[in-house]
Structure 1
Amino acid sequence: MTMAAHAPLGRSRSIPIATLFSLILALMVLLTVGSMLAAAVVVGQRNLFRQLGSRFDLTIRVAADRVGDHLKPAQHELRSLAALLARQPELLSDPKRLADVLGAAMSASPQIVATALVRPDQSSMRLERGNERAFIDDLRDRTDLAAALKRAESHGPNGNPLGWSDPLFGDIIRLPVIAYLEPVWSNGSFRGVLVAVVSIIELSHFMSELSTDLGETLYILWGTTHVLAHPRLPGLKLDLSSSRPLPTTAEIGDDALARMVGEFRREVGFQAYLKHARGHVFESGGVRQVHVFAELRDYGRQPWLLGFHAPIRDADEVSRWQRMVAVGLAFLALSIVLALIIGRGLARPIRRLAAAANEVKRLDFASVQPLERSRIREMDDAALSFNTMTRGLRLFETYVPRRLVSRLMEQDGNGGDLTRERDLTVMFTDLVGFSTLAERTSARETAELLNQHFELVVGCIRATDGTVDKYLGDGVMAFWGAPRRQEDHAQRACRAAIAMAAAIKDDNLARARRGASPLRVRISLHSGPVIVGNIGASARINYTIVGDTVNVAARILEIGREQRPEHALILVSGETLAAAGAGFTGEFLGHRAVKGRRSEVDIHRLVMEAGRVPEPGISIPPAGSSKARPARSDA
C-alpha cells in the first residue's frame, strides 16, 4: 500500500506586518509629498513662465512700436512731398524751389540724413544734412535704381511698390544706410522717385537710447548673420562697402550675439506666453542666454529681426525650481527611509490613519479626530506626532482661510489666471467710536470685544459666500464675485450687510441687558471693476483686490463717518443698488463728490425691510450743499 503524496507543511509565504506597515506609510509619504511637490513645481513654473513671457513680450512689443515711430516720419514726409509735387508740378522744373522742399522734408525729420529726387532718366537732385548745397547726380550706372524706376512706373499711380530698400552702402556719404522710396506722379505722368536716406549709424544710436529705456540690449538683424542696428555699431571701425554694406554678428563685438546664430532651434520654455515674439535659449561662454525676437515685416522684402539677448538671471528661477525638486526628492527619499525604519514597530490602524490623511488632503482639518494612544512606544510616538501636526494645521487654518485656499486651488487647477479684472462688490465696515471705547477697556477686553464683533460680521459674509480680504483695525474689508464668479455679487453683498445690521442690533440688545454700551457700525458697499488676484512682493503675496472701485467704497465709508447711527448704517452706491435689482431699495441721500474721482457718486441708505430704513432721520448732504438734492436722471 502506498501513501498518498502530500505537499510538505511549512510556513506560508507572507510579509511581516512591520514591513507591510512600513511600505504603506512610505507609499503614503510618496503620494502625499510627491503630489504636493509636483503640484508646487508645476504651478510655480507655470506662474514663472507667465511672468517672464509677459515681461519679454511687452519689451519686444514696445520696442517694435518705438522703431516704427522712429522710421514712420521718413515715410510721412516723402508721401506729403509726393502729394505736393503732384499738385504743383511746376516745382519739378524749378531747381531752387525743388531744393527747398527737399530740404524742408529732411529738416522735419532728424533721422533722415539725405533726400533726393531721381527722375526717370536717372538724373537726380540730392540734399545732405549739414550741407545747404544741392547736388545734381548722374545715376545711369545704378541698375538697382533703373529697376526701381521701371517697377514704380509700371505699377501706376495707385500705391507704392517700392517702400524701404535693402541695406546698402552710400558711396558718397561713406555710411551704411537704408532708404525709403516714394513714386511721384503728376497729371497721370510718372515724374520720378523721391528718396529719404536713413543712416544705420543713426538708427544704432536710437537703438542705444531704446535699450537704456527698456533695460535690455536691443538690436536689429538682417537675416540671421548680419547686423542692421546695434548699440555698439557706432563705435566700431568696419571695412564696409557696396558689396558688403553690413557687418556680421561676429564683427559687432557681441560674443553672445555671434554664438546665438546656430542656436535658433532651442525654444524657450515660456514660448506659449510670448504673443508677439519668439524666444530661444543658447549658451555663450558657459552662461545660459535667452534670445527674444520678433519679425518686422514693414521694412522691405526681407523681414528684420528685432530682439535682445540677456543672461538668464530671472529665468534662473527655473533652475532654482529644478534644484527645489532635487531637494524635495532628497527629503522625500529620507522620509521614505525613516518610514521604513520606524514602520517596523508600527501597529497603527492603517484605515484610520489613511482616513485622517485623506481629510488633511481635503484641508478638512476640523474633521480630523485625534489618534488614540498606544502601548507600543513607536506607535504612540506616531500618534502624538500626527496629533501635533493636526493641531499645527488647525492653527495654520486660523490664518489662511480654507475656503479661499480651496477655491484658488480649484481655479488654478483649471488653468485660470489668478490675476484678472472682474466686476465685484466691495464692502468696508468700521466701529463708531472704537478708539474711545478702547481707551476705557483693557487690551484683553478690547481683543475679546473685537473678536466677538468680527465673528458676527464675518459670519454674515461667509453665509453669503463672500471673501474676507483683510481686517482694518476695528473694521473689515470684504468682496463678492471672486475667486468664484458670482453674477449676483451685489445681491449677496446687500444681504450680508442687512444680516450684519440685524445681528448687531440683536447683539446691542443683549449688551444693554448686561449694562454694556452698544456697538455702532457703519457699512459701505460699491460695485464695479477691480483687479483681483495675487498681489504683493515675492516674500508675501496676498489674494486681494485693488482699483478705483475699492477706493470709492472706502470713501463712501468715510462719508458715513459724519453720522452716528443707533445700531448700523448701510451706505451703498447707485451702482450697487442698481446691480442688486428687485428686492432691495434705498433712500437716496444725494450726490457726493469722492476724493480722487471727477464724477460724483450717488449715495443711498439701504432699506432693511420693506418701507423702513435701519436708522431713520439720518441724512447725508452732498458736498457743497446743506441738504440732499433730488436724484439725477441717470442715477
Structure 2
Amino acid sequence: MLRTAERSASFVRQKPRRVIDLAGFLDSNSMRQAARDQERQTSTVSHAKKFRITPALTTVLGLFVLLTAGAVLVVQAVISRDVVRELGGELIDNGMDGLEAAVAEQLYAIRKTARYTARALDMGTLSFDDPDTAKQYLFGSLAPLDFVSFTLLIDADGSGLMVDRGPGDGTLLSETFSVNLDEPLVAPIFNRARSTYSSFWSRPIFLPRRDNTYLLYVKPLHEADEYLGSIILGMSLHRMSDITRYLSDDDVTVFLMEVGTTEIIAHPGLNHHFEELSPDNVLVDIDDVPDHFLANFSELRQIGNRTYDLNPRDKLYSGYDENGEKRFLVLEDQNSRFRGLPVRIGVHFRSDFLEHSINQLSSAAITGLGLLGVSLLGAGFLARRIVVPVKRASAAAKDVAELNLAKVEPLPASLIRELDDLSHGFNSMVAGLKAFNRYVPTSLVKRLLQEGRTETPPEEREVAVLFTDIAGYTSLSEGMSATETAAFVNHHLSLIGAEIAKQNGTIDKYIGDAVMAFWGAPETLDNPAEAAAQAAVGIASAIRKDNVERVERGEKPVRIRIGLHIGPLVVGDIGAPERVNYTVIGDTVNIAARLESLGKEIDPAADVIVMASDEVVGALTHNLDIESIGPHKVKGRDEPVTVLRILP
C-alpha cells in the first residue's frame, strides 16, 4: 500500500513536466502544421472569386424575370390560340344545344298535346260522335300552342273537325270537313297512319287551300288492330319562322333547313316571301332567302371541325356579308331531339364572337414585351431594396453569433413585408438574448445556442391523474346511427373537457367515450390533487345538469364513473424519434384507471361515482363529502389501495 501511494505521488509530481513537454511538442509540430493548414485555407478562400450582393441579385432577378416572362410570352403565343379556339368550340356547341333545346321545347308541347288528346279519346272523354265537345277540347288544346297553325281530328273515313288559329288576332275558327283519303297529296300520310302505331312528322307539304307549306305531326289512333283515325297538328312555314325570329337577334340569325337539302323551312325574314310557294315549289330555295350572307351559302368556305374542336354533327363555314364583315355559319346534319321532324338547325353570327380573343393575342404580346422591360428595371430596384437590410442583418448576425450583443444595433423597418418581419423578429431575438443574458452566464447562453434545444426530455414529477368513462355505454348508444353516436360522444366529451380546462388540466387522450387527464405538468402546481378533485366535482355537476335536459327530451340519462389518483410519474416526450407525444407513464396511471373501473362494483346504479385514492383525499384543502370505501386490491398492484368516494 505504501509503495503504491509513493508511486502515485511520484506520478503526480512528474505529470506537470510531461504536460509541458507535450505542449511544447504540439507547439513545435502539430501547431505549426495546423497553422500552415489554416494559412492555405485562408489563402484559398481569399483567392476565390467573391460576388457583390447588389449586382449579383440584380443579375439573377433580371435573368429570372427575362426567362420567366419570355417563356410566358412564348407559351401564350403557342398555346393561347389553341385554348381560345377550343373555348370557341365549346361556345358553339353550347349555343347550338341551347337553340336545339328551345326548338325541341315547342315540339315537345305538340307531342304532349297529341298524346293527351289520344288519351281523352281512349277514355271516352272525347268522341268522333260528339263534335261540340271535341271542338271545345281542341279550342283549349290549341290556344297555348303559339306556333301551331291548326289541329285536326279526323276519323278513318276522312271526316273530321278542324280548329284553326285564324288570322292571328286571337280568334280561333272551327269547321267540319271531309277529305278524300286517296288524293295524292294526303294519301301517303293517311296510309302511313293506318300502318303504324307511332306518331310521326310528315315532310313539307303545300296545302293549296291554305296557300302555304306545312309540316304535319300525326298521331294515329288505333283500337286493337283497327285504325280509328288520326290527330294532326300543322305548323306552317310562317309559324316556324316565328320560332326562329324569337331565337334570333341583331347579331345572331337562326334558321331551319330541310334535312338532306339546302331548302329553307324557317327564317326570321321569310314572313313576306311565301307568295311563290306552290305544289311544285314547296319550300324557299336558299338562293331566294332574304339574307345576303345565307343566300351565298354555296360560296362559303367550310372550316374543319378540328380547328375549333366542334361536335362531328356540326359543320362550320365562314364568309362575308354585304357590308364586308366576316361571319361564321354553323349547320348541323340532323338532330334526334326533334323526333323525326325533317329539319336541321343552323345559325350564323359575327366572327368577333370567336376571333375577338385571338385578335387580342398580338396586342397582348406587344404589351407583354413592354412590361418585360419595366419588370427588368423593377428587378434592379427591388434588388437594391432587398440588399440594404440584408447587409445590415448579415453584419449584425456575426455579432449575435459571438454574443457581442452590446455592439448590435436594431435593424430598421422596411417597406417589404418579409424584410420588415425579419427586422422585427431579429430585433425581438436580440432583445430576448440581452434579457436572457442578464440572468444566465454568457458561456451557458452560448452552449444553449449551440445545442439548439427544442425537446422536452422525460422527467419525474408528482402528477394527479383523472379517468372518466360512461357506464353502460353500449346499451345507451344502442339504436343510434353513426351520426347520432358521434354527436352524442362529442357533446359528452365537450362537457368533460370544459370542466378540465377550468382547472387548468391537460387532456392526455380520448379513449372512445373515456377521457384521461392529468395535473402537475407541463405547469407545476402546488396541489395537483385539489385541481383534479375540483374538476371531478365540476364534471359531476355538468353531467347531472345535462341529464335533466336529456330526460325532458325523452332520452336516457348518462351515468359516469370517475377515478382519481396522485403519485410520481414520468412526464415528457414519449415515443419513437419520428413521432412523440407529451404524456405521462407509470403506476399512478394504472391505479387511476382501476379506481374508475372499481366504481361499477361499489355503486353500479349511481349516476355519477367518483372514486379517489387516500393520497388524493389526503391532499384536499376544501371540504368535500367523503365516504370511506376501505382498502381494495386493484389489478396489477400487490398492495391494496385505500379507496374513498367523493360525493359531489
Q: With the length of structure 2 as denominator, give the TM-score of the two structures.
A: 0.45
Say which structure is richer in helix: 2
